[in-house]
Amino acid sequence: MKDLCNYRKGGNKGFDTVITRLQMQTYICIADFVYMRDKFGKTYGWGVAKYSTPEAQFGYDYTTSAYHRTPEESRARILAHLKTVLPEADTEQLSKLIK
C-alpha cells in the first residue's frame, strides 16, 4: 500500500494517520499479520499488518446486515455484549466506555 500511494521515502507523509482513520471508519481492517522467517522457517520479529476490506474479510451480507438497525438498537446491542464481557461494570461505566 505504501508503494501504491507513494508513502515511501521522499513521498507522501502521514501513512499511519490515514490507515488509522480508515480503520476507525471501518473502511479497512487488519486481516492478518505476516512475520519474517529465518533460514529454518521459524517466524521472528514484529508482524507486519495485512489489511483487507470488511466485505472481503467477513462477507458482504454480514457487513451490510446491520444497516437496517437504528443507532439506538446498535447501542443497546453493544451494551448487552459488554455486560456479558464485563459483568462487574454497571451501565453508566459501560456507557462512558463506548462514548
Cβ distance 49 to 33 under 8 Å?
yes
The DSSP output letter for 28 is -
Which amino acid appears at position 75 of this protein?
R
Q: Where are the domains of the chain?
A: 69-99
Measure the CA–CA gap between 1 and 87, rounded to whole angstroms.
Answer: 41
**C-alpha cell read off for 90:** 454497571
Predicted structure pTM score: 0.63
Cβ distance 94 to 86 under 8 Å?
yes
Measure the CA–CA gap between 29 and 48, rounded to whole angstroms.
Answer: 13
What are 27-54's pLDDT values in tens digits?
999 999 999 999 999 999 999 999 999 9
